[in-house]
Amino acid sequence: MNIINRHNDLPWALYREYDNQIDELNLNENIEHLGWSFACHTDIPRLRQGLVGAQFWAAWVNCTKQYKDAPRQCFDQVDVILRFVEKYDQTFQLVTTADGINTAFDDGKIGSMIGLEGGHCIDNSLATLRMFYNLGVRYMTLTHSCNTPWADNWKVDVDNSTVGGPVHGGLTDFGKKVVLEMNRLGMLVDISHVSRQSMIDTLQTTKAPIIFSHSSAFAYCNHYRNVQDDVLQLTKENRGVVMVNFYSHYVNCAPNLQEGDGNLTQVADHIDYIKDLIGVDFVGIGADYDGVDVLPEGLADVSTYPELFAELVRRGWSDDEMEKLAGLNLIRVFKEVEDVSFN
């Protein structure tokens, strides 16, 4: 079984720790001992141990760069992904299509796809969006944890939020144009990080299935980065997929708060919750490795995916169900997004 993880922030770690000087790090070695400022979850030996067959690498820059040089810095992060995929071409293979994922599997490579984490990267420009697509970007998260001039982020749903509540009331007219242009291009629309109303507006606007690249179930853990039940139902109607995040704060909170950072069984509970509510065809994995500083016990790094699947086996999941969770659901959505772009 090949596991497709929809969100990994190794590119940001390369920027943060090495200023994108990729030759200063050997990903062919286990690097968990390096003692980065936080995280150190990903390298080639642990990806192989974790049975990772494909990976969306996130190109992200801080929201403080919005209205400044966010597009240039986001292009830098796309560049570093392209460079490390090329450097380690015996392991990684750049993928820009759904069929390309299966080709990478057949070649014994880890299919490497690019996701743009935050609409602030395009600086209100559809032309910039198109340039990112031309470089290989195949999903964009509409916001990060800040509003753009055309979409509200999740923090507007939090009482006493520092952003002062809803600014746009979801997506603006231009925000809807962004979604439709992504449909036209064949770029997956990611609505992790956005506000509840932005989620609903996107689901009512898009002509193609959406993804939540790294979000969990709100009913199980009441954090506004997670997805509420009615939005989960809309996602089923849309034929999209929710990729469960492993970040402790999105996994382990009321009404199911446990001591410490939580544990692997809670992540399985989120997966089961989504499966039971809307079906196994609409859930996947979006771990957020190298983008978070605390993880549940049992899911310390990219080598631990098999432990999660072993837990699901204990819960009675079938092989077919686990294959859908592992990657077939994402491939199906990717193909349907491509089909919309062709019409």
Catalytic center residues: 7, 9, 117, 144, 193, 214, 288
Cβ proximity of 19 and 34 under 8 Å: no
Q: Name residues whose C-beta falls within 8 Å of residue 30's C-beta, 6 or more positions apart in sequence.
A: 43, 45, 46
3-state secondary structure of 279: coil
Which value, to the nearest 10 degrees, does the dihedral of the CA atoms of residues 260, 261, 264, 269 take? 90
Candidates 120, 103, 101; CA nearest to 60 is 120
Pairing of strands 92-94, 110-117: parallel
Pairwise CA distance, residues 333 & 4, whole Å: 13
Count CA atoms closer than 13 A to 256's CA, side-chain side.
Answer: 20
Candidates 3, 7, 1, 72; CA nearest to 215 is 7
Pairwise CA distance, residues 70 & 60, whole Å: 9
Query: For residue 99, how far is the Cα from the chain centroid?
Result: 20
Is-cis flag, bond preceding 166, omega within 30?
no
Other C-beta atoms closer than 10 Å to the C-beta of 177 total: 14
Query: For residue 1, how far is the Cα from the chain centroid?
Result: 20
Strands, E assignment, 71-130 = 92-94, 110-117
CA angle 278, 283, 284 (to 5 degrees): 175
Enter the tokens of residue 134: 């031309």
The three-state (H, E, C) secondary structure of 31-47, written as one string: CCCCCCCCCCCCCHHHH
